[in-house]
Amino acid sequence: MMSKHEKTYVAKADFMLHGGDYNPDQWLDRPDILSDDIKLMQLAHTNTFSVGIFAWSTLEPEEGVYNFEWLDNIIDNIYKIGGRIILATPSGARPAWMSEKYPEVLRVNGSRVKQLHGGRHNHCFTSGVYREKTQQMNRLLAERYGNHPALVMWHISNEYGGECHCDQCQEAFRTWLKDKYNNDLKALNDSWWGPFWSHTFSDWSQIESPSPIGENAVHGLNLDWRRFVTDQTIDFYKNEIVPIREITPEIPITTNFMADTFDLIPFQSLDYSKFSKHLDVISWDAYPAWHNDWESTANLAMKVAFIDDLYRSLKQQPFLLMESTPSLVNWHEVNKAKRPGMHLLSSMQMIAHGSDSVMYFQWRKSRGSSEKFHGAVVDHDNSSENRVFQEVAKVGQVLEKLPKVVGTNRPSDVAILYDWESNWALNDAQGYGLETKQYPQTLQEHYRPFWEKDIPVDVITKEQDFSPYKLLVVPMLYLMSEETIARLKAFVANGGRLVTTYISGVVNEYDLTYLGGWHKDLQEIFGLNPLETDTLYPKDENYVTFNNQKYLVKDYATIIDVNGAITEGTYLQDFYKSKPAVTSHSHEKGKTYYIGARLDEQFHRDFYSDLISELELKAIFPVKHSPGVSIQVRQGEDADYVFIMNFTEEQQVVVLDSEVTDMVTGEILSGEMTLDQYEVRIVEKSRGN
Ligand code: GLA
Ligand code: ZN
């Protein structure tokens, strides 16, 4: 049995990785710049570089003509200064000769328009030629660099995403469907509710991917297509790693995951719960719009924390921050610089939630093309003196003090369940409020009260083990298979506390609604049957009373037929005035809670506060503080590593109730600690045995 504080080194390194995407291939005719890079890397306290990400046209300028010498030199030079390499496969962008000679590598969009060569991240995932070419290239890279002592990890492609609708992809989709439905077309028609608008297929060949100029109203088809896109992307990835696994079995593999929008919700288009099973390490690219004009810094920090906790929980081990910006990006609507201190704070937040790296896009700003104004460690001035470079160096110096934190995790008693498939199906559902479904945002609202109280949370997916948790929060899980329902039931029967909300358990895994009321097992464990979901206009308001307090209802209100459950909260208005809105119910050894309406922030605070006391859920480092301060902990075998972070624009005071050691300065601290705006302090507290 692994102890819950056992370390997992995700990269082949026992230190915090600090560095980023490095594109020397853009500077090969500037040896002076390349040699400056090596000096600047040391001044920046960086140690690890992701190379080769978009280097295909330099590595193979003509078909079969290879040029690796420049990369040999780069890797050797970095290694000479003690640096390490994350080696990328270049499939994220391909050379023009390839698109010209083999047009099948080009993507076809949903309207069936074949794309021209250009951009990046736009290949067909099915193309036999592209699969062969990527494998060939990856084999050469693995053979040449697999034994290099600098190599700590593989970075497969870059930010996989998108979809292709070419003929080969259509054929692959049909094969995937035949496999899924055991060659039984009737089973497919039944699952897709075929007779609706006469959508019954009489031959497999009639089936096409969803299209704005064709089929887009068959929800079962849409859902299966999204699943196929995930599977096909994974299949492409698996093809990429064949030679890499064969030649370098001991080098861990990652690909960089994303978040959606600068508003920060998990990436929507690929089911990362599936993808994560094929990776050794989860890594992601985080670009929050700090200092934006629509939310507080603390609110944005909470959203970043949510994604960190999701991506860490995918493998229940540390993850890597693969890309971030030292200051600004070039693709937000407004590209604002990180204010002094924010870079250290935002970087340490990632470490606090389980990252073993702070990596950047990009090491050096390019001179031309679309990313020439994207933030980088080295600006066009080539200087180590400017503010951004200095802030990066500061992060490096702090990371150098944190080797003990590397590999540690953050066990937790609370889990929130996130599901990609359910989100797809819910967004597809023509019903409810078209703009107000907001599934990921709703989960963030349920996460917030725990974050505010510094209680560690895992954000898990439906296949994961529920049994380690005392409390499982499952908001708005629209799609629930019988299997998920059975697993939730078993969790409660064994003593778990389960929370769910409005718009949960509506459809099964085929996106077909349950008939005859809510699933009987859900009715049994929650002691109720949701009868109607009322959707409200933005200006509509209702209220719920709960524990003698009044809370605002927006968007959704479920009318419930209680059958055994205890009414904890009731509606104040409308035709369901006085009817139950929030309930609880004991079932076997456990207990369930149903929140029928979309309630305000304060409700979530008060509701979860009761559960937190009852279940004795505790912050690992319990210290009273004002809102906007976050204290997150990673746990070593005999010490806690505590990140005390001020996500506000004011000075904050926290009072330490025991002696701790500042991991950066070495000072022993106790009593009052004052944190300036955006300040972060990292302290070690030995765990008294
Ligand atoms: C993504 C890509 C990088 C770069 C950055 C810019 O994360 O992986 O290559 O384009 O965005 O923010
Ligand atoms: Zn294709």
Task: Tell me if 41 is assigned to some domain.
Answer: no
For residue 285 and ligand 1, the question of a CB distance below 6 A is answered with yes
Q: How crowded is residue 334: how many other Cβ atoms within 10 Å of its Cβ?
A: 10
Instruction: Give 544's contacts (C-beta < 8 A, 6+ positions apart).
Output: 550, 551, 553, 569, 570, 571, 572, 581, 582, 597, 599, 603
For residue 329 and ligand 1, the question of a CB distance below 6 A is answered with yes
For 283-333, how does the pLDDT look when each residue is reduced to its tens digit (9 = 90+)? 999 999 999 999 999 999 999 999 999 999 999 999 999 999 999 999 999
Helix (H, G, I), strand (E, B) or coil at 637: coil
Task: Tell me if 45 is assigned to some domain.
Answer: no
What is the per-residue DSSP string for 509-548? TTSPBPSSSS-HHHHHHHTEEEEEEEE--TT--EEEEETT
Mean pLDDT value across residues 84-107: 98
CATH number of the CATH domain containing 668: 2.60.40.1180
Atom in ligand 1 nearest the alpha carbon of residue 54: 9
Q: Rounded to a whole number, what is the distance in angstroms from the first to the last CA of the chain?
A: 20
Residues 593, 597, 600, 602, Cα dihedral to 10°? -30
Atom in ligand 1 nearest the alpha carbon of residue 287: 12
Interatomic CA distance for residues 14 and 645, integer angstroms: 25
Which residues are found with C-beta within 5 Å of the ion, ligand 2?
124, 126, 164, 166, 169
Atom 12 of ligand 1, nearest CA residue: 329
Whole-number Å distance, alpha carbon 325 to ligand 1 midpoint, is: 9
Would the pLDDT of 4 be above 60? yes
Confidence of residue 2 (pLDDT cuts 50, 70, 90): low
pLDDT value for 1:
46
Q: Do 431 and 523 share a domain, yes or no?
A: yes
Q: Do 681 and 595 share a domain, yes or no?
A: no
Task: Tell me if 342 is assigned to some domain.
Answer: no
Closest ligand by atom to 374 CA:
1
pLDDT value for 688:
72
Whole-number Å distance, alpha carbon 248 to ligand 2 midpoint, is: 30
For 196-248, how does the pLDDT look when each residue is reduced to its tens digit (9 = 90+)? 999 999 999 999 999 999 999 999 999 999 999 999 999 999 999 999 999 99
pLDDT value for 135:
98
Q: Do 681 and 552 share a domain, yes or no?
A: no
Task: Tell me if 600 is assigned to some domain.
Answer: yes
Whole-number Å distance, alpha carbon 62 to ligand 2 midpoint, is: 24
Residue-level length of the chain: 689
For 623-675, how does the pLDDT look when each residue is reduced to its tens digit (9 = 90+)? 999 999 999 999 999 999 999 999 999 999 999 989 999 999 999 999 999 99
pLDDT value for 118:
96
For residue 159 and ligand 1, the question of a CB distance below 6 A is answered with yes
Interatomic CA distance for residues 571 and 673, integer angstroms: 44
Closest ligand by atom to 236 CA:
2
Cβ atoms of 280 and 250 closer than 8 Å: no
Atom in ligand 1 nearest the alpha carbon of residue 331: 12
DSSP state for residue 113 in the 8-state scheme: P
Active site residues: 159, 323
In this prediction the pTM is 0.98
Whole-number Å distance, alpha carbon 471 to ligand 2 midpoint, is: 43
Task: Tell me if 481 is assigned to some domain.
Answer: yes
Last residue of a domain, one of 552, 586, 614: 614
Q: Do 643 and 610 share a domain, yes or no?
A: no
Whole-number Å distance, alpha carbon 361 to ligand 1 midpoint, is: 6
DSSP state for residue 503 in the 8-state scheme: S
| Number of domains observed in the structure of the chain | 2
Task: Tell me if 326 is assigned to some domain.
Answer: no
Would the pLDDT of 511 be above 60? yes
Q: Do 466 and 424 share a domain, yes or no?
A: yes
Would the pLDDT of 468 be above 70? yes
Task: Tell me if 272 is assigned to some domain.
Answer: no
Last residue of a domain, one of 550, 580, 614: 614
For residue 374 and ligand 1, the question of a CB distance below 6 A is answered with yes
Tell me what the pLDDT averaged over the chain comes to: 97
pLDDT value for 687:
87
Q: How crowded is residue 687: how many other Cβ atoms within 10 Å of its Cβ?
A: 12
Q: Which residues form the domain of 651?
A: 629-686
Among all chains, which residue has been given the structure tokens 């992701």?
A: 50
Atom 4 of ligand 1, nearest CA residue: 361
Q: Do 594 and 534 share a domain, yes or no?
A: yes
Last residue of a domain, one of 614, 646, 674: 614
Whole-number Å distance, alpha carbon 229 to ligand 2 midpoint, is: 10
Instruction: Give 280's contacts (C-beta < 8 A, 6+ positions apart).
Output: 10, 252, 253, 254
* Cis peptide, bond prior to residue 549, ω within 30 of zero: no
Q: Do 450 and 595 share a domain, yes or no?
A: yes
Helix (H, G, I), strand (E, B) or coil at 403: helix
Q: Do 556 and 642 share a domain, yes or no?
A: no
CA 553 to chain centre: 29
Task: Tell me if 449 is assigned to some domain.
Answer: yes
C-alpha closest to that of 155 among 10, 339, 296, 46: 10
Q: Which of 26, 159, 324 to mutate to test the pocket of ligand 1 (most atoms within 8 A of CB)?
A: 159
